[in-house]
Structure 1
Amino acid sequence: MRAFLFPGQGSQAVGMGADLAAASVHARAVFEEVDEALSQKLSRLMAEGPAEDLTLTENAQPAIMANALATLRVLEQEGGVRLADKAEFVAGHSLGEYSALCAAQALDLSTTARLLRLRGEAMQAAVPIGAGAMAALLGADFALAEAICADAAQGEVCQAANDNGGGQVVISGNKAAVERAMVLSKERGVKRAVLLAVSAPFHCALMQPAAEAMAKALAEADVRSPLVPVYANVTAAPAADPDVIRDLLVRQVTGTVRWRESVEAMWDAGVTDFVEFGAKVLGPMVKRIAPDANVVSIVTMNEIEALAAAL
């Protein structure tokens, strides 16, 4: 069994998608549709930068999605591969869940781009700059990270935001609370605590205004049953009902990205092969969680061609 995976924020880089667009009319069509949906030359920003503009949450989220979907589109159109024939499940990390839903045709491309633009804007606006923070705890399991967050909160928000597996848990919340958690983590044997260069504290209760904005937008969006089930971040379980998917996407804004559990659940369900589209971020995570899995990350035209031949 096979799952197609889609990366999250942090996988953006200036130049992303440029070579693929030059090589494939099908990739260019994806970028052009996203540009039109957003009334912005996002593809030019992706190709040329500047990096600080691409890194803005409102740009990074639709850009990462567009790059991943362009990669999949080339595989489908030029490699003759149909997702529904070659994958039993799809999954994505944070914003990547939207990419996964688009890949499985639960959302169309233009709608996905607009939802991610709104999501990025709403997440950025939810907390004043400098009021929140995120940090990666390296060498901590999820239970330890949760205990550290509970003790560090002291009436503020401090939550485990991403359970990435392999002993990496990202925490999020009020800046002072996250800083207290970093001090506590060293006292409790965590190997390293690294403050992340992010513009807002994602996946914690401080994001509630963004969750409300997404609830309104998703209520009005055309969400269909996906071609294959999507493993949801907040439940680490497959979902296929459109109303359930809407609810899970809203909960995801403030909830923990349960990536480790999602991969473990897919492995337990019989998935042995994982294919990541558009970046090489989730592949290494999957190998740390399921060392015996077959994992490939697809970015370039050569890699797409090799995968099409293998499938």
Structure 2
Amino acid sequence: MRAFVFPGQGSQAVGMGKALAEASGIAREVFQEVDDALGQKLFLLMSEGPESDLTLTENAQPAIMANAIATLRVMEKEGGIRLSEKADFVAGHSLGEYTALCAAGALDLATTAKLLKLRGRSMQAAVPVGIGAMAALLGADTEKAQALADAAAEGEVCAVANDNDPTQVVISGHKGAIERAVALVKDFGIKRGVLLPVSAPFHCSLMQPAADAMAEALATAALRAPVVPVYANVTASPVADPDAIRTLLVEQVTGRVRWRESVAAMFAAGVTDYVECGGKVLGPMIKRIAPDANTNAVITMDDIESVLKGL
């Protein structure tokens, strides 16, 4: 069995998608459609930067999605494959869940781009810069991370935001609480705590204003049943009902990204092969969760040609 997976924020880089667009008219069409939907020259920003603008959440989220969908569309149209025939499930990390839904036909490309633009803008606006923070805990499992978060909170928000793999958990919340947590890591048997260069505390209760904004937008968004089930971040289980998907996408803004559990559940269900479109960050996580899994990162035309041979 096979899953197509899609990366989250942090996988953006200046130059992303440029070589693919030069090599494929299909990719150029995707980038143009996203530009038209957003009314901005996002692909120019992806190609040439500046990096400071690309890193802005409201730009990074649709850019990462567009790059991944362009990669998938090239595979489908130039490689003559159909996702519904080559994948048993799709999944994505945080914003990647929207990419997965687009890939599986639940959301069209323009709607996905607009939703992610709003999601990024709303997440940035939810908490003033400097109030929140996030930190990666290396050598931590969720139990240790939760104990640390509880100890560091002291009345502020300090929550487990991302359960990425058996060796890495991310916490999110008020800046003071996150800094206290980083200072306390050794007391909880955690190897290291590293503050992340993010502009907002994602996936914690401080994001409630963004969740409210997404609830309003998703209520009227055209959302169909996906052609293959999507593993939802907040439940680590497959979902195909449009109304359930809407609810879970709203919960995802403040909820934990249960990536480790999602991959473990997919592997237990028989998924041995994972194709990461538009990035190479999820593959190493997947291998740490399920060492016997086969992973492929698809970014370049050479990657596409290589992976198509095995599909």
Unpaired runs of at least 5, structure 2: none
Residue 19 of structure 2: aligned partner = 19
Alignment identity in percent? 71
Residue-by-residue CA offset, 1:1-41 (whole Å, 9 max, x unaligned): 00000000000000000000000000000000000000000
Kept in 2: contact 1:58–1:121 (CA 8 A): yes
Residue-by-residue CA offset, 1:226-268 (whole Å, 9 max, x unaligned): 0000000000000000000000000000000000000000000
2:58 aligns to what SS in structure 1? helix
Residue 155 of structure 1: aligned partner = 155
CA distance in 2, matches of 1:290, 1:47: 34
Residue 116 of structure 1: aligned partner = 116
1:182 aligns to what SS in structure 2? helix
1:130 aligns to what SS in structure 2? coil
CA distance in 1, matches of 2:239, 2:219: 17
TM-score of the two chains, using structure 1 as the length reference: 0.99
Kept in 2: contact 1:132–1:200 (CA 8 A): yes
Kept in 1: contact 2:163–2:260 (CA 8 A): yes
Residue 182 of structure 2: aligned partner = 182
Kept in 2: contact 1:80–1:308 (CA 8 A): no
Residue-by-residue CA offset, 1:190-212 (whole Å, 9 max, x unaligned): 11100000000000000000000
Post-superposition, which runs of at least 4 consecutive aligned residues in structure 1 deviate over 6 A? none
Q: Does 2:119 match 1:101?
A: no
CA distance in 1, matches of 2:308, 2:301: 10
Number of paired residues?
Answer: 311
Kept in 1: contact 2:144–2:189 (CA 8 A): no
Residue 168 of structure 2: aligned partner = 168
Residue 259 of structure 2: aligned partner = 259
Residue 125 of structure 2: aligned partner = 125
What is the Cα deviation at residue 306 of structure 1? 1.2
2:285 aligns to what SS in structure 1? helix
CA distance in 2, matches of 1:310, 1:290: 20
CA distance in 1, matches of 2:62, 2:133: 22
CA distance in 2, matches of 1:217, 1:263: 29
Residue 9 of structure 1: aligned partner = 9
1:135 aligns to what SS in structure 2? strand
What is the Cα deviation at residue 186 of structure 1? 2.0
Kept in 2: contact 1:133–1:173 (CA 8 A): yes
Q: How does 1:206-285 map onto structure 2 within 5 Å?
A: 206-285=206-285
Residue 42 of structure 1: aligned partner = 42
Q: What is the one-letter code of the residue matched to 1:79?
A: G
1:60 aligns to what SS in structure 2? helix
What is the Cα deviation at residue 185 of structure 1? 1.3
Kept in 2: contact 1:203–1:253 (CA 8 A): yes
Q: What is the one-letter code of the residue matched to 1:195?
A: L
Q: What is the one-letter code of the residue matched to 1:118?
A: L
Unpaired runs of at least 5, structure 1: none
CA distance in 1, matches of 2:261, 2:189: 23
CA distance in 2, matches of 1:166, 1:67: 28
1:71 aligns to what SS in structure 2? helix
Residue-by-residue CA offset, 1:108-167 (whole Å, 9 max, x unaligned): 000000000000000000000000000000001011101111111111100000000131
Q: How does 1:128-147 map onto structure 2 within 5 Å?
A: 128-147=128-147
1:8 aligns to what SS in structure 2? coil
What is the Cα deviation at residue 181 of structure 1? 1.1
Q: Does 2:87 match 1:61?
A: no
CA distance in 2, matches of 1:220, 1:298: 33
CA distance in 1, matches of 2:209, 2:46: 28
Residue-by-residue CA offset, 1:67-96 (whole Å, 9 max, x unaligned): 000000000000011100000000000000
Kept in 2: contact 1:140–1:190 (CA 8 A): yes
Between 1:252-261 and 1:146-155, the stretch displaced more is 146-155
Q: What is the one-letter code of the residue matched to 1:128?
A: P
